[in-house]
Structure 1
Amino acid sequence: MKGVVFNLLEDAVVREHGLLAWDSLLELAGLEGSYTSLGSYPDSEVIRLVDAASTALGITPGEVLRWFGRSAIPLLHERYELFFSPHKTAQSFVASINDIIHPEVRKLYAGAGCPHFHFHDLEDGRTGLAYQSPRRMCRLAHGFIEGAADHYGNRVEIEHLSCMLEGHPVCRIALDWSH
């Protein structure tokens, strides 16, 4: 995983809980915590941080990932406003992930392993999202979508229809932007 993800996690923790919380999290996870944005680090390190936060806060790892995704959007906007400025709605922004944002991420951070999202219309009018990644962090994607909705002042209802964590080959998520 790219160091920029660790930097975002550190900034989100420090912004909401203070520097001592980040240091405590690193200690609980048994990590050094010296991450550079362009560096690559084992996925296991972010998993250890998420698990440590889960233990410290008494919430599930999925809830930690969801919080992180939602909290990261304002930080991403501060750093990469050019990804956000062409869009007027969260729905438009989220739909640009594969075609605009992830290719740019790969240019900025060589070797970045971005997840793949497939969007399609569902019969009930919602947007279907198929999420596929070897990291299986669909809850992080869920938080990013909520954060994008917050950023653009939109509302979205998110329903997980199936999940890789439950043995499915892909996560299937329904997004209802009609609220």
Structure 2
Amino acid sequence: MKGIVFNLLEDVVSEQFGIETWDLLLEDAKVDGVYSSLGNYPDADMLALVKAAAHRLKLPEGEVLRWFGEKAMPLLKQTYPELFEQFPTARTFILSVNTIIHPEVMKLYSGACCPYFHFTEQPDGALEMRYQSSRHLLDLAHGFILGAADIWHENISVERYPSGSPKENDMTIRWQGP
């Protein structure tokens, strides 16, 4: 996993809970915490940090990942405004992930292993999305979607399918009025 993701996690945790909490998470996870944005680090480090945060905050790991994704999105926009400014809505941004956003990420961070999303637009305006990645971080993607909606001040709901169901890697995003 790219160091930028660890840097974002550190920023989000430090901003919301203080740098001391970040240090405690590093200690609990038994990782050194020195992450260069361009470096590659074991996925196990991220999973250990998420597990440590879930334990400390008494939250499920999936909820920690959603929270992280949602809070990281404004930091990504602040760091890489050019990746956001060309999109008038969260929907157009989300739909561009495979064709514009992830190719740009791979230019910035060579060797990045990005997930792939399959989109199906529904007749009622909803967007069905299937997540495909060996990392199994659907909850993080869910958080990024919520964060994107916040950036564009859009009201959305995200419906997920139960774990173990044939559609457990799918979610349906619905845009609601103001």
CA deviations on 1:3-55 (whole Å, 9 max, x unpaired) are 01000000111111111010011001111100000100000000000000000
Aligned amino acid, residue 171 of structure 2: I
The CA RMSD over aligned residues, in Å, is: 1.4
In the alignment, the residues of structure 1 paired with residue 166 and residue 49 of structure 2 have an alpha-carbon distance, to the nearest angstrom, of 25
Alpha carbons of 1:177 and 1:37: their partners in 2 closer, same or farther (altered >3 Å)? same
In the alignment, the residues of structure 1 paired with residue 7 and residue 135 of structure 2 have an alpha-carbon distance, to the nearest angstrom, of 18
Q: Secondary structure of the residue that 1:48 maps to in structure 2? A: helix
Q: How many residues align?
A: 177
**Pairing of 1:135-150 with structure 2 (within 5 A):** 135-150=135-150
Q: Is the Cα–Cα contact under 8 Å of residues 72 and 147 in structure 1 kept in the other structure? A: yes
Alpha carbons of 1:127 and 1:167: their partners in 2 closer, same or farther (altered >3 Å)? closer
Q: Is the Cα–Cα contact under 8 Å of residues 156 and 175 in structure 1 kept in the other structure? A: yes
The unaligned stretches of length 5 or more in structure 1 are: none
Q: Say if 2:49 is the partner of 1:52.
A: no
Deviation at 1:169, TM superposition (A): 7.7
In the alignment, the residues of structure 1 paired with residue 98 and residue 82 of structure 2 have an alpha-carbon distance, to the nearest angstrom, of 16
Aligned amino acid, residue 170 of structure 2: R
In the alignment, the residues of structure 2 paired with residue 123 and residue 171 of structure 1 have an alpha-carbon distance, to the nearest angstrom, of 21
Q: Is the Cα–Cα contact under 8 Å of residues 90 and 154 in structure 1 kept in the other structure? A: yes
CA deviations on 1:39-84 (whole Å, 9 max, x unpaired) are 0000000000000000000000000000000000111011000011
Aligned match for 1:175, one of 161, 173, 176: 173
Aligned amino acid, residue 117 of structure 1: F
In the alignment, the residues of structure 2 paired with residue 162 and residue 101 of structure 1 have an alpha-carbon distance, to the nearest angstrom, of 28
Q: Secondary structure of the residue that 1:156 maps to in structure 2? A: strand
Identical columns (%) = 47
TM superposition score normalised by structure 1: 0.94
Which residue is 2:75 aligned to?
75
Deviation at 1:162, TM superposition (A): 5.2
Q: Say if 2:132 is the partner of 1:132.
A: yes
Which residue is 2:120 aligned to?
120
Stretches of 4+ moved more than 2 A in 1?
A: 122-125, 166-170
Which residue is 1:33 aligned to?
33
TM superposition score normalised by structure 2: 0.95
Q: Is the Cα–Cα contact under 8 Å of residues 68 and 140 in structure 1 kept in the other structure? A: yes
In the alignment, the residues of structure 2 paired with residue 43 and residue 129 of structure 1 have an alpha-carbon distance, to the nearest angstrom, of 24
In the alignment, the residues of structure 2 paired with residue 63 and residue 109 of structure 1 have an alpha-carbon distance, to the nearest angstrom, of 27
Aligned amino acid, residue 105 of structure 1: V
